[in-house]
Amino acid sequence: MRLSALQKYILLQCYNRIGFRIGRGGLERFYDNREMPKAELLTKIITHSIERLIDNGFLFGFGMRTTEKWFIREIKLTKEGLKVAQTLASYQQRLPLRK
């Protein structure tokens, strides 16, 4: 499965935490060095990325579920997600060199 840059960022953030569990509050930092989408779309974009990672078995989601919607507060890596995150962490980082 191909992962977007945001999904890779989410997996690496979980991998770098003790217990592989994080709250979703710090995931907006992904857009610090990129063009920021509108505020109302930011939460929706992050939520869809988290839900896709959960559907593919890379993350566990913790929160509340109503009959219509999930309210995900924390996420944690699964064993399969840990393998993918270790692979992503082993890649050499790109330097922001100017041409």
Query: Domain boundaries in the chain?
Result: 5-90
- Whether the CB-CB separation of 77 and 61 falls below 8 Å is answered with no
Cα(87)–Cα(52) distance, integer angstroms:
19
Q: What is the pLDDT of residue 99?
A: 67
- Whether the CB-CB separation of 8 and 15 falls below 8 Å is answered with no
pTM: 0.84
CATH of domain 5-90: 1.10.10.10
pLDDT per position as a tens digit, 33-87: 788 888 788 888 998 999 999 999 999 999 998 888 888 899 999 999 999 999 9
Average pLDDT (19-45) is 84
Cα(82)–Cα(11) distance, integer angstroms:
8
